[in-house]
Amino acid sequence: MHPNRLLRLAAATLAAGVLLTACGTGTEGGSGGGNEKITLNVNLFGNFGYQDLYAEYQKSHPNITIQERTAAYNDHHRDLITHLATGSGAGDIEGVDTGFIAQMRERGNLFVDLGKDRQSEYLDWKWAASLAKDGKQVGYGTDVGGLAICYRRDLFEKAGMPFDRDQVSAAWGSGWDQYIEFGKRYAAKAPAGSAFFDGGGQLFNAIIGQAPVGYYNEDNAIVVGTSPDVRKAWDLTVKAIQSNLSAKLIGSSQEWNNGFAKDQFATIACPAWMMTKIKDQAKHAAGKWDVASVPGGGGNWGGSYLTVPKQGKHIEEAKKLAAWLTAPEQQAKVFTARGNLPSIPALYDKPDIAQYKDAFFNNAPVGQLFTTAAKQLKPQHQGPRAGDVQTTIRDALVRIEQGKQSSDESWKQMVSDVERLAK
């Protein structure tokens, strides 16, 4: 373990003190149960939109300090797996993406059972995805992805393209081939330095997210090398790359973050949680972004969970905080403040959710768009290494974007790399 990580762990242990039970998980956060100060470490990837909620919870629990630590997507999940294996280093609460939740439920004995009291609140498939084999619940769902396309209406206008969201949706509504053709017309007159989309890995995730079967079949067998849907998503993405439409950026990298600020791409595959990233990285372009329907309609990409590792020092307090952060009232607040789509369907028909319009995205009716998508969503089965498979495919597409391999060469290596993950 890295020395700095050991120091952070030691500091967290010293700050934690004696295990203390905090009472209440209601919408106002309840009240703290005692006077001894404790710190709850919440380890996440990206922005879950919790900062205002932390302040609210700490106000009603004056003995609790919440410390959030964020890391890059892959680093976060790999660190968590390492900490589970070594028995130390995990946070009191750990965020887990849908691509990694199967790995965590296989390690269900290392997580606190969150019980079944909240089962009726959740989408059936969202609740089931984080159930361990013995029926224990290892994670509270935070959000679901859905799919749309976020785009820069000002860049479209400068290129002489349709920029009204209804016109844009209609232009590529029948499928990804039409999206690519739209992109070719955009590229012909695009402002200098602006590609059509951000990167091949992100585009692929959206396309495969519409397929009935993704990387695994229901028997937990990897089907990447034989699936016609995976091959179709690959071929469409390569077609877009070879048409010089990609900005060649890797999602969540610093270069990708800079791409927002420098207007380096005009569209991005946009699950609901992507709106948070856009708001964080493209503050200068507020009101210039808009949201259109995804080509072909439907699909899902991402969504997350909060888990409580058993190695934590404050398990009861962590359980209550995780329950409170994911309660319906808090999921609604996160959606209207940041854009993460709730995983609790009772919220979808509430006026403040269904009729919500986001000023950052030119008052796009994101509530209607994403709740409609969520109601129609048919989730894929997520196998144990789905997140790693996704990363392997992304890396293969990057090799094509960088001119290091042909499509056939990179496909062959990717299939071989994925097959090794199954061993």
Q: Helix, strand, coil: what percent of the chain each, to 5?
A: 45, 15, 40
Number of CB atoms found within 10 A of residue 15's CB: 14
pLDDT at 373: 84
Spatial distance between the Cα atoms of 404 and 360, rounded to a whole number of angstroms: 38
pLDDT at 298: 87
Pairing of strands 93-97, 140-141: unpaired
pLDDT at 34: 57
- Which positions ≥6 away from 423 have C-beta within 8 Å? none
Separation of CA 243 from chain center: 28
pLDDT at 379: 86
313 and 37 Cβ atoms separated by less than 8 Å: no
295 and 174 Cβ atoms separated by less than 8 Å: yes
From first to last of its 423 residues, the chain has per-residue pLDDT tens of 443 433 343 334 333 333 333 333 333 333 344 578 999 999 999 899 999 999 999 999 999 999 999 999 999 999 999 999 999 999 999 999 999 999 999 999 999 999 999 999 999 999 999 999 999 999 999 999 999 999 999 999 999 999 999 999 999 999 999 999 999 999 999 999 999 999 999 999 999 999 999 999 999 999 999 999 999 999 999 999 999 999 999 999 999 999 999 999 999 999 999 999 999 999 999 999 999 999 988 889 999 999 999 999 999 999 999 999 999 999 999 999 999 999 999 999 999 999 999 999 999 999 999 998 888 888 899 999 999 999 999 999 999 999 999 999 999 999 999 999 987
Question: Considering only CA atoms, which of 215, 157, 206 is closest in space to residue 179?
Answer: 206
260 and 286 Cβ atoms separated by less than 8 Å: no
> Would you call 66 helix, strand, or coil by DSSP?
strand
115 and 82 Cβ atoms separated by less than 8 Å: no
Question: Considering only CA atoms, which of 196, 191, 192, 195 is closest in space to residue 171?
Answer: 196
Question: Considering only CA atoms, which of 177, 165, 352 is closest in space to residue 270?
Answer: 165
- In Å, how far are 64, 261, 273, 287, 398 from 32, measured between CA atoms? 8, 42, 31, 41, 49
Which residues are 97's β-sheet partners?
304
- In Å, how far are 274, 288, 343 from 143, measured between CA atoms? 12, 26, 5
Backbone Cα Rg of the chain:
21
pLDDT at 381: 92
- In Å, how far are 157, 158, 223, 234 from 188, measured between CA atoms? 13, 12, 38, 24
- In Å, how far are 27, 225, 248 from 240, measured between CA atoms? 46, 21, 11
Which residues are 268's β-sheet partners?
150
Tokens of 325: 């952060």
Spatial distance between the Cα atoms of 312 and 315, rounded to a whole number of angstroms: 6
291 and 285 Cβ atoms separated by less than 8 Å: no
Identity of residue 99: G
Tokens of 35: 């006077």
209 and 406 Cβ atoms separated by less than 8 Å: no
> Would you call 71 helix, strand, or coil by DSSP?
strand
pLDDT at 124: 94
- Which positions ≥6 away from 257 have C-beta within 8 Å? 281
